[in-house]
Structure 1
């Protein structure tokens, strides 16, 4: 039998508030079993809120706790059933360190969830001696707690999407706190109705404090932002605007290359293709980042394709507009000048820029981009590819939120 100093030491090592170790034993090939006494003699009635010390019956059961070295640890817990003097009703007391009907402590759950950040459900379950179903229950429990929380201090909201299944145009919407660099929401269906419904659930106290909404140039995002957050400035992400220009430039390159292949004059065909082949990246890459060899390749391209030369020049001028420090007035004048020169070679991009001019020039005052959002999306893609034992969208959300909200 353990001495009082040993039990005192075990209580300190166990470090669970409100309990005292009354005995323990080490069972070979099983682990350490620790028997606990409750220090609190009174419990609070969940119905009337009064304290009572009237014991109806003891209820002993065993739960898993954090391991001690290589030894598994089991706690024999007494969740007493009490009788309220005020109601009078019978109830089971609440214990902070282990929830009702659970066979593991809260701190073991926290350890397991933190391990999921770097591993999969199956391996974490085997390593901790719990079932995969128990881990999914832990996740759902944690997710339920999280779902009741609303974003706090949200000033700049980023809205973007990620493909759930590549190539099938099946997107979910990702909502990001740009300043805190965390996910604050995920919407399964990328429709205006579903996005608006999700955001409305945050309530006016959250939506009214949002000052900026950063979006790509998808109209429903703008519609939702203006409907629910009229005080917020909608900012079109400069990199999505640049992407539009680059895509039109690359489309022109492909068209010229296709026309070159169709030529019957072999010498002319060879001349054009020698400059156009493998030119995509030198054409789209920032000019100042080109290597010496890439610069030579770009010059060869310009000689055989004057249209691409003009478009490349306009692309670089467009990019520089956003690189230089400007306010919205200077930005507007610069874009207006660019549009006059670029309309002949970038008709599609110019049309888009004109339609979104207000949201685009908002960038010059705010300088807000979706760089943070894109970084989070890249991490989400990695989570999605690896799977980690998550088999549906709800589990994907839990896994995603685990990375940015779980305090390890």
Structure 2
């Protein structure tokens, strides 16, 4: 607001990184937990168990899951192990994409998560603000018609920040790299504490 007060010609840009971060933290995570709880209450413990430890899979792009499966087939080592701490070497496991497909097939809301992720990704590739605005409006419509409070919250977020989101079509700037570096620094600091 201070910048806009002094420089009203500035355009606010809400980059892909922060929109996806909000989607992952405020939609994917709570929907997964709510679905797991609903399945437990319905007595479908097998389906509820299948949702355990799936946050990473649900927040990842399909291309990332395919890359990890490829790394597993190549025998990529993810931890060298340590004789000092009695830890064994760990190799990447396969089955990310298959697990993802199974989750989407079993649950309508999880399928909607995948649909929204794909549409958001495609919208942020557009360079025409009008087309991007139409794509975002389509995502808002999908979110509002799920009947799920978390999706509806995300739909309202997109509506409230519509101008700043579609400005990205003109100015492709992002703080994603900086945020990623900050997260790496935090991780290293946390590991340093032991």
Give the TM-score taking structure 2 as reference length. Answer: 0.71
| 1:48-59 aligned within 5 A | none
Q: Does 1:373 align with 2:178?
A: yes
Bigger-Rg structure (1/2): 1
How far, CA to CA, are the matches of 1:341 and 1:274 in structure 2?
Answer: 28
In the alignment, structure 2 segments of 5+ residues that lack a partner are: 70-94
Structure 1 residues not aligned, in runs of 5+: 1-222, 387-408
Corresponding residue for residue 332 of structure 1: 133
C-alpha change, 1:242 and 1:385, in structure 2 (3 Å) is closer
Give 4+ residue runs of structure 1 displaced > 6 Å after superposition: 382-386
Cα deviation, residue 225, structure 1: 2.2
Measured at CA, do residues 313 and 372 of structure 1 come closer, stay the same or move farther in structure 2, by a change above 3 Å?
Answer: closer
1:79-98 CA-to-partner distances (Å, cap 9, x unmatched) read xxxxxxxxxxxxxxxxxxxx
Distance 1:354 1:269, change over 3 A: same
Counterparts of 1:341 and 1:277 in 2: how far apart (Å)? 26
Greater share of strand: 1
- Cα root mean square deviation, aligned: 2.6
Relative distance call for 1:285 and 1:375 in structure 2 (3 A) is closer
Q: Does structure 2 conserve the Cα–Cα contact (< 8 Å) formed by 1:321 and 1:334?
A: yes
Q: Equivalent residue of 1:301, what SS? A: helix
Q: Give the equivalent residue in structure 2 for 1:353.
A: 158
Report the alpha carbon displacement of residue 384 of structure 1 after superposing the two structures with TM. Answer: 7.4
Given candidates 54, 64, 67, the residue that maps to 1:279 is 54
Is the CA contact 2:37–2:48 (under 8 Å) kept in the aligned structure 1?
no
The aligned residue for residue 8 of structure 2 is 230
Which fold has the larger relative contact order, with Cα–Cα distance below 8 Å and residues 6 or more apart in sequence? 2
- Structure 2 CA distance for aligned equivalents of residues 311 and 377 of structure 1: 27
CA contact (8 A) 1:287 1:316 kept: no
1:239-388 to 2 correspondences below 5 Å: 239-247=17-25, 248-263=27-42, 265=43, 268-270=44-46, 272-291=47-66, 292=69, 293-322=95-124, 324-345=125-146, 346-375=151-180, 377-378=182-183, 381=186
Give the Cα–Cα distance (whole angstroms) in 1 for the partners of residues 111 and 105 of structure 2: 8
Change in CA separation of 1:274 and 1:362 when aligned onto 2, cut-off 3 Å: same
SS in 1 for 2:13: strand
Which protein is richer in helix relative to its size?
2
The count of corresponding residues between Structure 1 and Structure 2 is 160
After TM superposition, the structure 1 = structure 2 runs for residues 44-193 of structure 1, keeping only pairs within 5 Å, are none
CA contact (8 A) 2:28 2:113 kept: yes
For residue 332 of structure 1, report the CA deviation from its aligned partner. Answer: 0.8
1:290–1:328 CA distance, 2 compared to 1 (3 A): same
